[in-house]
Chain A
Amino acid sequence: MVNGLLRGLERLGAATRKAVTRLGFASRFLIAVLRHTPTAFLRLPLTLREIYFAGVLSLVIIVLSGLFVGMVLGLQGYDILSRYGSSEALGTMVTLSLVRELGPVVAALLFAGRAGSAITAEIGLMKTTDQLQAMEMMAVDPLARVVAPKFWGGVISMPFLAALFSASGVFGGYLVGVQLIGLDSGAFWSNMQAAVDFQLDIVNGIIKSAVFGVIVTWIAVFEGYDTKPTAEGVSAATTRTVVEASLAVLAADFILTVFMFRGV
């Protein structure tokens, strides 16, 4: 009994130590990548290419998802609000939900699945097939040539994707609320404009998505670089990226929300 308890504690301790060590590695890796930031921007085509792969290629999934989420919000919101006779607040509700929470969070989750996994897989495969080592042997630092541009490509793309998600969500809400249910279009837009605060809602939403962008891309490049150089290693790393990034985004969202909207 006591022995079992001790062994459990021991295992917990070992796991904690491993997690902290890994976090330490990841942090040192992030610092090393940040030190190569000048290369990423001096050689703009490299970063633009990554913005294309991480950002532009995610546009379709982001816009479509935003549209559907907005339409669902429109339906559910109308159902709830009409019980209190305040269905004209639908625009406000849909927009605030999207700009404050769903835009940054859902876009980041989709980004982790679509772009984060791709970043991890690409770096992991380059490592597995000796391409990173070959680069090093040619006196080219893979952190500068491969990792830093991918990191900044992801970090830059994320806020735009989140904004786009929110915008298409609002449009989806408009489609359901005004076009389908028949609410007054003027009330929908003007109530919304009056209720949304630029600093509190828009800026905080942008801050959130920027933080999520850093978190997701950081995890993606680290897991790729840290891949065990085998086929199973790459697939395990890709899975880890999606799981860790999703959890980290949700946890960070809670913390950020506490600081941003506390007592409002």
Chain B
Amino acid sequence: MVSLSSLSDEAASLTDVTFGYTPSRPILSGISMRIPRGKVVAIMGGSGCGKTTILRLLAGQVKPSAGRVVVNGQSVPELKKAELYTLRRRLGFLFQFGALFTDMPVFENVAFPLREHTDLPEPLIRDLVLMKLNAVGLRGAAHLGTNELSGGMARRVALARAIALDPLLMMYDEPFTGLDPISLGVVSQLIRRLNDALGITSIVVTHDIYQSLNIVDYIYFVAAGGIIAEGTPAAIRASTDPFVKQFVNGEDDGPVPLHMKAPPLAEDFLGRMGV
């Protein structure tokens, strides 16, 4: 097995990153991870553990209070706004619910990044848009309005939009939630296929361990502000680590607690009744 640290060519990395939206509640404390070029990497972990926050750090939407965030060789927190925007043109980001522009039809949604960032002539834009839509299997939906799409279709259109400018790095925020089993399979295969066909790097944030085990090259488990386990799907399947087993078997309580930190139950309930 190739250890990740021996692959020097990384699309992105976090090194000892600490971050909190408010100083009193740190979300990430000293977390490190590397995303090797050309691979599909999953970030897994319980709700609220900071998975989306990691993507926002990589995209430069928030800045770490300590540590390094590097994307494509550039230190993201140090970039000026113009440089950051130049970097973002090479990043694709898939929002959980697609975030399609509701005032434009499907075609214009996919054309949006091309129109904003290139001076390509109209026929070329048309060809590119249809090509991207074809890649997600929705060339036939080009003329539809966004309100005529199902949830799974909307996510695929958003995917076509995200790859319109041929990104170096694709980031998916929970691409599997709320999909029926068929769409689920379609979207997860699509992520893998696009990654290999376009020669890009992908980060998939997800709760779905089964899809992850099937399509990704490497998995990070995040909890309590850091990485608690990591490995290839084969290693994860074979792991005896209690954290990993809890995830793989879907047990509701284990080393990763179900409940957010709160005062003891009795205190909360009795306190409110004024006892």
The docked-state distance in angstroms from the alpha carbon of A140 to that of B84 is 11
B153: interface (CB < 8 Å): no
Q: In the complex, what residues of A have CB within 8 A of residue B101's CB?
A: 126, 131, 134
B234: interface (CB < 8 Å): no
Evaluate contact between B99 and A130: CB separation under 8 angstroms: yes
Contacting residues of chain B (86-124) with chain A, CB-CB under 8 angstroms: 86, 88-89, 91, 93, 95-97, 99-103, 112-113, 116-117
Q: In the complex, what residues of A have CB within 8 A of residue B61's CB?
A: 133, 136-137
Task: Work out how many contacts link A and B, with CB atoms closer than 8 A.
Answer: 48
Q: Mark B2-25, 1 if CB is under 8 A from A, else 0.
A: 000000000000000000000000
A129: interface (CB < 8 Å): yes
A139: interface (CB < 8 Å): yes
B85: interface (CB < 8 Å): yes
Evaluate contact between B59 and A137: CB separation under 8 angstroms: yes
Given A137-B59, A138-B113, A138-B116, A131 and B102 contact (CB-CB distance below 8 Å): yes
Evaluate contact between A137 and B91: CB separation under 8 angstroms: yes
Residue of A nearest to B116 (CB): A140
Q: Mark A119-141, 1 if CB is under 8 A from B, else 0.
A: 00010011001110110111111
The docked-state distance in angstroms from the alpha carbon of A136 to that of B61 is 9
Residue of A nearest to B115 (CB): A140
Q: In the complex, what residues of B have CB within 8 A of residue A136's CB?
A: 61, 88
CB < 8 Å neighbour of B99 from A131, A139, A145: A131
Q: List 24 A-B contacts (CB under 8 A).
A: A125-B102, A126-B101, A126-B102, A129-B97, A130-B95, A130-B99, A131-B99, A131-B101, A133-B95, A133-B99, A134-B93, A134-B95, A136-B61, A136-B88, A137-B59, A137-B61, A137-B88, A137-B93, A138-B88, A139-B86, A139-B89, A139-B117, A140-B113, A141-B85
Which residues of B come within 8 Å of A, CB atoms?
A: 59, 61, 85-86, 88-89, 91, 93, 95-97, 99-103, 112-113, 116-117, 158, 161
